[in-house]
Structure 1
Amino acid sequence: MRKSGKFLAAALSFALVLATPLSAQATKSGLSDAKSKKTALEAEKKKTEQELKNLEGLKSDTTAYVKKLDSSLESIGNELSKLGDDIDAKEKQIDTTKQELSEAKETEKSQYESMKLRIKYMYEKGDSTYVDLLMESGSLSELLSKAEYITKISSYDRQKLDEYAATKEKIAEKEKSLESEHAELLMLQDETEAKQASVEKLLAAKQTELQNYETKIASTEGQISEYAKSIEAQENQIKSIEAEIKRKEEEARKKAEEEKKKAAAANKAAQTYKTVSLGDISFTWPCPASGRITSGFGGRKSPTKGASSNHQGIDISAPTGTSIVAAAAGEVVIATYSSSAGNYVMISHGGGVYTVYMHASSLLVSQGQSVKKGQTIAKVGSTGYSTGSHLHFGVRVNGSYVNPTKYVNP
């Protein structure tokens, strides 16, 4: 196309007028985004605070249980200590009884041996010795005394032998009883030690659980603190954006009449888009992976609620995630989200010429960034008013949209 100095001058003039409403639109969109982010952060902060409350409740329950287990261990320890003392005492009693039994056996054995010696002596001497002993008595009184003495010796031996046998048997029974009591104490000690081991194992698990709760609580408190900082930052950003909107609205009010006149002139010029010159700008197709146009430029039936019936661009169908490239080199003047366009980018190519890329799933550039022709700037999506995954591509010249297919082909 041929150059037109007069038309380019008009385009530059209109670009200056166009900058204010576009910037205001971006600012309002930024305000909406900031308020939405603040609301989302407050909701997340509230959820995290509830989570913290739940964690603190669980920690409190676990702490109480750990305290109870500590008390049980102390009680079991005291019980084991007493059992140990009882076992030591019982073992000493058993040792003493064994000593007594040994002594009783020795005494019985000694008495038995003495008795056997006397019986043996009497047997070896025969009955005559006993008779001679009696006959040698000088009087009846002496005779009776000797007879009684012999009888008493025999009776004493029998009595003592019976007594020692009874004592030995009694001590043996006592030893048996002590051994039984000792065995019972040992069994009770084993059971108590097993109980102690079980409580210690449970206590270790609960202490680990308590440590985990403390770690989670510390982390959650950190999250709440970060949310509070982010909310404060969003509030500051909202205040800043609101102040900027107020300033721009005041500026826009003062220039409203002038902009209307210039816009009317620009719209009139746009009706002859076939003669529009784009200077030295040349475009490349914005969606290299697809050349399928599903909706052309101009009048149409609105495909979904909120969508325009006067289509100010072309729709290129492509799968979500497909690369969107800059049609020409320039500067990104808008990279944001709006409820109608979704995620979108607008690039200024100079001379009042802009290209627009709407409904992206994600944006890869930011406002103020310079881009090269063919550079990937976004990914195809279906955000905003959209009936499916596609790229809405528009070309704006001197404040009005023109048919992109006049300047670019797949």
Structure 2
Amino acid sequence: MIHRKRIISLVLTAVMCLGLGLQVNASEISETKEKAAQLENQKKAAENEKNSLAAQLEKIAGEMEDLQGQIEEKEMELFAKEEELSQAKVEENEQYQDMKKRIKYMYENGNAQFIEILLESKTIGDFLNKAEYISTISEYDRDMLEQFQEIVKAVEKQEAEIRDEYEEMGDMQDELIAKQDQVSKLVTQKEAEISSLGSQLDDTNKKLAQLEEAAAEAQRKQAEAAASQQAQSSAGSGYKPGGAGAAVVSGNGTFTHPCPGYTYISSYFGYREQPLAGASTNHKGMDFAAPQGTPIYAAASGTVVSAAYSGNAGNMITISHGNGLSTIYMHCYQMYVSAGQTVSKGQNIASVGTTGNSTGPHLHFQVNLNGVPTNPMNYL
């Protein structure tokens, strides 16, 4: 009795320690999840900023393309105006040279020739016409020179205005190039930030997966310790390690609980993220954690279809209950029935073990309807 109490005390201590470990692990998991969420938000914000910068770059590229087209047009205008100015200066110079020749001629010959021309006039009308002609030539030279000079000034002014616009566009182009370089650097920095956040997020998610796996393992061990404590407490209640015990029927469902008193489910029916190596992620039954040797009871009356060792399932019993229903009991330690045997509801058919592909003592309880696995909770 003293020895049994000591064992129970040790088991209780282990359960308490495991419980404290689970609390610490849960706190770390919560903190890691929060950190992962923060990193995810930071990464999304950085990606949004990068997309915004990329849009700015695209806009700048469009503005530069438009400005380049305007610069090319202005270059053509400037080239045409330079040609026009050059021609105006040529015409101005030609007029100036012609006028200089006439002035030189008059200076070198004096006024005698003009007087002779006038004296040769036969009539007063002819005289007046010749005098007016000489005056007209002088006025024409002067007027034409002034006209050409005005044209040159006008073209020079237009050329200066075009050149100012051209230089202004060049400054605008330089500003756009500088802005483009600045935004490109920001994009590069943002890409580096996103890469860093992505690496941190990957590391955090890996840590979270490890923590959750450790928590699941600790929870399983806690359940096994609790089950062991319960088994020690209920020792002498009729269970005999060497053979089958009395029948037990519990619950109000179609099936009695196959392992009454051990309701902790270490693995539920359906999808599971981290199965054992070689096991399917689609769990076809429910795992009840219980210490080795705990009685297993037939969920309902029926006929034992098979009771033998079966690879990953270990010692396995299959019972047919009619109407397409059958139940399966895996990883048994001892089996108390054989194929072809008729069993009653609640009959002790085996004991909990860890045979086959198993991490610890538990009962894999599976319900098939017309050969298809279905959730056992629908029948318990």
Q: Does 1:27 align with 2:11?
A: yes
Candidates 152, 166, 176, aligned match of 2:160: 176
- 1:225-282 per-position Cα deviation (integer Å, ceiling 9, x unaligned): 222222222222222222221222223789xxxxxxxxxxxxxxxxxxxxxxxxxxxx
Aligned to 1:221: 205
CA distance in 2 between partners of 1:216 and 1:206 (Å): 15
Cα distance per residue 1:382-405 (max 9 Å; x no partner): xxxxxxxxxxxxxxxxxxxxxxxx
Contact 1:21–1:252, Cα closer than 8 Å, also in 2: no
**AA matched with 1:239:** A
Q: How far 1:200 moved relative to its partner? A: 2.0
1:107 aligns with 2:91: yes
Shift of the alpha carbon at 1:20? Answer: 4.5
Q: Unpaired segments of 5 or more residues in structure 1?
A: 1-16, 255-410
- Identity of aligned pairs, percent? 26
C-alpha displacement of 1:19: 6.0
Amino acid of the structure 1 residue aligned with 2:154: K
Kindly indicate whether residue 180 of structure 2 is the aligned counterpart of residue 206 of structure 1.
no
Query: Is 1:80 equivalent to 2:64 in the alignment?
Result: yes
Which residue of the partner structure matches residue 165 of structure 1? 149
Question: How much has 1:178 moved relative to structure 2?
Answer: 2.7
1:23 Cα deviation after fit: 4.1
Amino acid corresponding to residue 94 of structure 2 in structure 1:
S
Q: Aligned to 1:29, what secondary structure does the other structure show?
A: helix
Task: State the Cα distance separating 1:197 from its structure 2 match.
Answer: 2.0
CA contact (8 A) 1:55 1:217 kept: yes
Name the stretch that deviates more: 51-60 or 24-33: 24-33
Tell me which residue corresponds to 1:369. none
User: Any residues of structure 2 matched to 1:366-381 within 5 Å, and which?
Assistant: none
Equivalent residues, number: 238
**Amino acid corresponding to residue 215 of structure 1 in structure 2:** S
Give the structure with the larger helix fraction. Answer: 1
Distance 2:236 2:11 in 1: 13
1:389-404 correspondence runs (5 A): none
Deviation, structure 1 residue 30: 2.5
Give the deviation of 1:72 after TM superposition.
2.2
| CA displacement at 1:162 relative to structure 2 | 0.5
TM normalised by structure 1 equals 0.53
Amino acid at match of 1:110: E
Give 1:298's aligned residue: none
Amino acid at match of 1:168: V
The CA distance in 2 between the partners of 1:190 and 1:55, in whole Å, is 39
Residue 100 of structure 1: how far off its partner (Å): 1.8
Cα shift at 1:196: 2.3
TM-score, normalised with respect to structure 2: 0.56
RMSD across aligned positions (CA):
2.5
CA distance in 2, matches of 1:177, 1:57: 54
Which whole-Å CA distance do the structure 2 matches of 1:142 and 1:41 have between them?
Answer: 129
Counterparts in 2 of 1:315-326, with a 5 A limit? none
Taking the aligned partners of 2:196 and 2:236, their CA distance within structure 1 comes to: 58
Q: Alpha-carbon deviations, 1:193-232, whole Å to 9, x = none?
A: 2222222222221221122222222222222222222222
> Match of 2:134?
150
Give yes or no for the alignment of 1:40 onto 2:24: yes
